[in-house]
Structure 1
Amino acid sequence: MKLVLWDIDHTLIATRGVGRKLFGKAFEEVTGTVMREQAIVDGMTEPVIFRETADLHGIRSDRAMFEDFARRSADLHRLHAHELRERGHALPGAAAALAALAGMEGVVQSVVTGNIRPVAEIKLQVFGLDTHIRFPYGGYGEDHDDRAELVRTAITRTRHDHPVHRSRRSPHR
Structure 2
Amino acid sequence: MTTLNRLVLWNIDHTLVDVGRVTREVYAEAFQRTIGRPLVRLAPTPGRTESEIIFETLAFNDVVTTDDHLPAFMRALAEAFATRRADLKTHGRVLAGARETLDALGRLPDTAQSVLTGSIEPNAVLKVTELGLADRLDLEVGGYENGVYSKAALLELARSRAGAKNGVQYGESATVYIADSPRDVQAAHIARSPIIAVATGSATAAELRGAGADVVLPTLADTDAVVRAVLELTGR
Q: Same fold (TM over 0.5)?
A: yes
Match of 1:66 among 63, 67, 70: 70
Q: Secondary structure at the match of 1:108?
A: strand
**1:1-173 equivalence runs, <5 A:** 1-142=5-146, 144=148, 146-161=150-165, 162-167=168-173, 168=194, 170-171=214-215
**Alpha-carbon spacing, 1:144–1:112, altered in 2? closer, same or farther (3 Å):** farther
User: How many Å apart are 1:33 and its aligned residue?
Assistant: 2.3
Amino acid at match of 1:47: S
Q: 8 Å contact 1:110–1:137 — kept in the other structure?
A: yes
Q: 8 Å contact 1:47–1:145 — kept in the other structure?
A: no
Bigger Rg, structure 1 or 2? 2
Aligned equivalents of 1:159, 1:63: Cα separation in 2:
34
In structure 2, the gaps of 5 or more residues are 174-193, 196-213, 217-228, 230-236
Aligned equivalents of 1:63, 1:125: Cα separation in 2:
32
Aligned equivalents of 1:131, 1:63: Cα separation in 2:
37
Aligned equivalents of 2:67, 2:35: Cα separation in 1:
13
For residues 32-54 of structure 1, what are the alpha-carbon distances to aligned partners after superposition, in whole Å with 9 as ceiling and x for unaligned?
12110011111111001001111
Higher relative contact order (CA 8 A, sep 6+): 1
In structure 1, the gaps of 5 or more residues are none
For residues 58-99 of structure 1, what are the alpha-carbon distances to aligned partners after superposition, in whole Å with 9 as ceiling and x for unaligned?
212345322222222112212111112111100011111111
Aligned equivalents of 1:119, 1:100: Cα separation in 2:
25
Aligned equivalents of 2:69, 2:11: Cα separation in 1:
25
For residues 104-127 of structure 1, what are the alpha-carbon distances to aligned partners after superposition, in whole Å with 9 as ceiling and x for unaligned?
221111111110010000000110
User: How many Å apart are 1:18 and its aligned residue?
Assistant: 1.3
Q: 8 Å contact 1:111–1:133 — kept in the other structure?
A: yes
Q: 8 Å contact 1:48–1:145 — kept in the other structure?
A: no
Q: Secondary structure at the match of 1:73?
A: helix
Percent identity for Structure 1 against Structure 2: 29
**Alpha-carbon spacing, 1:79–1:154, altered in 2? closer, same or farther (3 Å):** same
Amino acid at match of 2:38: V
Aligned equivalents of 1:158, 1:151: Cα separation in 2:
11
Q: CA RMSD in A?
A: 1.7
**Alpha-carbon spacing, 1:92–1:63, altered in 2? closer, same or farther (3 Å):** farther
Higher strand share: 2
What TM-score do the two structures reach when normalised by structure 2? Answer: 0.68
What TM-score do the two structures reach when normalised by structure 1? Answer: 0.91
